Amino acid sequence: MKLGIDIGGTFTDLVLLDEHSGQMAFGKTLTTYPDPLEGILNGVAQITQERGVPLADITTVVHGTTLVTNAVIERKGARTALLTTRGFEDVLEIGREMRYDIYDLFLSMPKPLVPRPWRIGIRERVDKTGRVLQPIDLAEVEAAADRLVQRGVQSIAVCFLHAFANPEHERAAGELLRRKYPHLAVSLSSEVLPEIREYERTSATAMNAYVQPLTQDYLRRFKQALAKRGFQGQILIMNSAGRLTTLEGAQRFPVQLLESGPAGGTMASVFFQKQLASAGVELPQLLAFDMGGTTAKASMVRHGQPEITHHFEAARERRFKKGSGLPVRIPVIDMIEIGAGGGSIARLNALGLLTVGPDSAASQPGPACYGRGGQLPTVTDADLVLGFLNEHYFLGGTMPLRRDLAERAIEKHLARPLGISVAEAAWGIHRIVNENMANAARVHILEKGLDPRPFSMLAFGGAGPVHAFAVARLLGLSRLVVPSGAGVLSALGFLVSPIATEVVFSHVIPLDRIDWPALNERLADMERQGRRFLQEAGLEAGAIEVRRVAEARYAGQGHEITVVLPAGKLSEASLPEISRNFEQEYTLRYGRVLPHMPLEFVTWRVVVSGPAPQWQLHQQVRGHLSTQPLKGKRPVFWGKEWLDTPVLDRYAMPSGERFRGPCIVEEYESTTVVGPQAVVWRDHFGNLIVEISEES
């Protein structure tokens, strides 16, 4: 038995999976503030009691959390200091000396996580090849640490110039700090991010140090709370790249957990893409659409692999402005925040125009229809007023909604000031959200050099299936898939993801000057490190897979693209394949190649992973199993008029039978909206397949 737990801004989702039978049980409870652990324990008690499964019988718990992201955004991390090479104390403020909006006269840049008085330069110097130019003065390190501890510093980041090429100075400083001040959290850049580019490496190391005490405390309490209730198994944590790491790995490198929750949904999409392919439904290009209570996100899954990027920003000053956040060059599923969530608040701006988000009502007080004190209209309130949601069957009827409160909030804050009906105001909220998400998703796909139209969409999250049809139609997609348990899919994604780790080093060298024996030895050593990590996590050596990539560019360029390296030992005979892989990727992104320009390689990566689980999952049925797919009809506002729309019971829909839209499909965790002229059917896995015609 395995349990996945995902903390969202509004709900905490749980999935209990029996590996032998493939049976799943889903749970959903409100996220608790300020301590989300309370909500987790409520959900664990609920799901184990409902299924009659003692916590002691569960062998593995996999967890994803927004704790790290929230701590950085809200600036609620530890008091953090930085030790760096003398003369480089201001790297965090200087950054790349680029304005993310050149026309904004009142531009605000992200403030460093480490204040200037706590950034201290140390006499030491290593050149770009790793040669020591000035030995480190450990007495100076000790004196600096003494002063910082007296000032109440809780965590120290150490980032020396060119430490990616020679980490000995950082290791010596780290050993001293850990020996003399064992209560301090210490982060070394050569361990957190051993890559070229000083600003990005310093930023990631400072962020790791900033959140490390908080993460260590949270995961320690999480482990103790489960153990107190009888859990004796293994705890794994989802990281931002869709890979599982150990509890110890997460505590050591918490910066890698920045996007752990959303990554679960993308990995579930990878699983369902392969599952559908096994049944003859080929969806080689999939847009994973995740809309929860706070935000909506999109990512791409192509040919069974998620898009991974190493260019990520946290805590942006402007939500959708690249360059306005703190850079972190960790492996992250390439995911774009494309809009609002179910709890996002709708209001009129200074010009009297309707806007939605970015602020959310979250779980407390929540949307007005929750009846928990929320007074402002939200996306969920609009969906309820329009008839998309059933006020008596939200979360299977365990959480009734107040339609009257939703109507009152929309009428007071939007409809009356605009001089329109409540239904028209609600439809305005619905349309704005859908248009914003479709536009952002379209740009995200086009920026990759791809056409959105051949994609299919896989929708999940509590609000995702409600809005997915409209977003897919606006993008020109022809097929929408809503898997079973879509409302808790990120938690399910944790359970179908592999344990994996990435080992990296930077070495800038032209392709024609590579020392192949030395490179092969370095790559082999990286592979051994990765295998050792996975074996310590309990994986057998024979089950481990290895993938090697490198970041390359034309000589003189400032940025790289990722190139897959051939299997086996590399040599001059590998040059044609490496060059071909580079040109294919470069052409995809830029539409051309530069045939006479030499290539140079910058960073080398080895990803070592265990196998992804290959279960046959079965749809969960909650409550009484009906034999009648039609539950009845209810009025739904489709933009121009109210229509009596059929409401279907997802659990009772016969496999393969077609139903024509418009219709609403209800289940315990979510509601799927199918628009006019579309056709929906359920496959034998329990997935809903929606075929969208041009007339839709």
**Between residues 685 and 199, which one has the greater pLDDT?**
199
> In Å, what is the CA distance from 261 to each residue of 67, 237, 492?
10, 10, 11
Does a structural domain hold residue 58?
yes
CA 378 to chain centre: 23
Whether 56 and 110 map to the same domain: the answer is: no
Mean pLDDT within 12-19? 90
Does a structural domain hold residue 481?
no
**pLDDT at residue 138 greater than cutoff 60:** yes
Whether 100 and 209 map to the same domain: the answer is: yes
**Between residues 617 and 139, which one has the greater pLDDT?**
139
Mean pLDDT within 580-595? 91
* CB atoms near residue 507 (< 10 Å): 20
Mean pLDDT within 115-139? 95
Whether 184 and 130 map to the same domain: the answer is: yes
What are the φ and ψ backbone dihedral angles of 404, each rounded to 5 degrees?
A: -65, -40
**Which pLDDT score, from 0 to 100, does residue 225 have?**
95
For tokens 């995740």, name the residue.
Answer: 290
Q: Which of 330, 369, 368, 619 is nearest to 486 (CA)?
A: 619
Range of the domain at 140: 73-216
Examine the fold and report which residue of 216, 250, 272 is the final residue of a domain before the chain moves on: 216
**pLDDT at residue 29 greater than cutoff 90:** no
**pLDDT at residue 410 greater than cutoff 90:** yes
Q: Tell me, what CATH number does 190's domain have?
A: 3.40.1360
Whether 28 and 82 map to the same domain: the answer is: no
Examine the fold and report which residue of 150, 182, 216 is the final residue of a domain before the chain moves on: 216
Residue 44 contacts residue 63 (beta carbons within 8 Å): no
Mean pLDDT within 31-40? 88
**Between residues 76 and 340, which one has the greater pLDDT?**
76
For tokens 């050596």, name the residue.
Answer: 541
Residue 55 and residue 3: Cα distance in Å, rounded?
Answer: 10
- Count of H helices and E strands in the chain? 17, 35
pLDDT band at 433 (very low <50, low <70, confident <90, very high): very high
Mean pLDDT score across all residues of the chain: 90
Q: Which residues pair with 61 in a beta bridge?
A: 3, 235
Q: Which of 292, 406, 297 is nearest to 346 (CA)?
A: 406
Mean pLDDT within 331-340? 84
Does a structural domain hold residue 685?
yes
Sign of the CA dihedral 231, 235, 240, 243?
Answer: negative
Q: Which of 471, 375, 371, 386 is nearest to 426 (CA)?
A: 386
Does a structural domain hold residue 12?
yes
Whether 137 and 161 map to the same domain: the answer is: yes
**Which pLDDT score, from 0 to 100, does residue 622 have?**
58
**Which pLDDT score, from 0 to 100, does residue 281 have?**
83
pLDDT digits (tens, 9 = 90+) for 549-576: 999 999 989 889 999 999 899 999 999 9
**Which pLDDT score, from 0 to 100, does residue 168 have?**
97
Residue 631 and residue 649: Cα distance in Å, rounded?
Answer: 6
Residue 39 and residue 131: Cα distance in Å, rounded?
Answer: 52
**pLDDT at residue 51 greater than cutoff 90:** no
Whether 153 and 209 map to the same domain: the answer is: yes
Pairing of strands 344-348, 285-291: unpaired
Mean pLDDT within 602-622? 79
Whether 22 and 105 map to the same domain: the answer is: no
* CB atoms near residue 96 (< 10 Å): 11
Residue 661 contacts residue 679 (beta carbons within 8 Å): yes
**pLDDT at residue 586 greater than cutoff 90:** yes
Residue 14 and residue 36: Cα distance in Å, rounded?
Answer: 14
**pLDDT at residue 113 greater than cutoff 70:** yes
Does a structural domain hold residue 491?
no
Per the structure, how many domains does the chain have? 4
Does a structural domain hold residue 585?
yes
Q: Which residues pair with 332 in a beta bridge?
A: 309
> In Å, what is the CA distance from 493 to each residue of 269, 483, 485?
8, 12, 11
**pLDDT at residue 319 greater than cutoff 80:** no
Residue 553 and residue 598: Cα distance in Å, rounded?
Answer: 9
Fill in the amino acid letter for 122. Answer: I
Three-state secondary structure along 399-424? CCCCHHHHHHHHHHHHHHHHCCCHHH
pLDDT band at 238 (very low <50, low <70, confident <90, very high): very high
**Which pLDDT score, from 0 to 100, does residue 227 have?**
95
Whether 518 and 556 map to the same domain: the answer is: yes
Residue 255 and residue 188: Cα distance in Å, rounded?
Answer: 12
pLDDT band at 696 (very low <50, low <70, confident <90, very high): low
Q: Find the range with the poorest average confidence among 283-297, 330-344, 612-626.
A: 612-626
Residue 450 contacts residue 473 (beta carbons within 8 Å): no
Examine the fold and report which residue of 216, 246, 276 is the final residue of a domain before the chain moves on: 216
**Which pLDDT score, from 0 to 100, does residue 618 have?**
62
Does a structural domain hold residue 453?
no
- Give, rounded to a whole angstrom, the gap between the first and last alpha carbons of the chain: 42
Whether 136 and 208 map to the same domain: the answer is: yes
**Which pLDDT score, from 0 to 100, does residue 217 have?**
95
pLDDT band at 537 (very low <50, low <70, confident <90, very high): confident
pTM: 0.87
Whether 209 and 92 map to the same domain: the answer is: yes
Whether 600 and 654 map to the same domain: the answer is: no
Exposed/middle/buried for residue 385 (C-beta within 10 Å: 0-12, 13-18, 19+): buried
Does a structural domain hold residue 265?
no
**pLDDT at residue 338 greater than cutoff 80:** no
Q: Tell me, what CATH number does 14's domain have?
A: 3.30.420.40
CA 525 to chain centre: 30
Residue 201 and residue 163: Cα distance in Å, rounded?
Answer: 10
Whether 68 and 78 map to the same domain: the answer is: no
**Between residues 362 and 655, which one has the greater pLDDT?**
655
Q: Which of 401, 367, 456 is nearest to 687 (CA)?
A: 456
Residue 566 and residue 155: Cα distance in Å, rounded?
Answer: 41
Mean pLDDT within 454-463? 92
Which residues, other chains included, contact 193 with Cβ-Cβ below 8 Å and sequence gap of 6+? 200, 201, 204, 205, 329, 330, 504
- Helix, strand, coil abundance in the chain, percent, nearest 5: 35, 25, 35
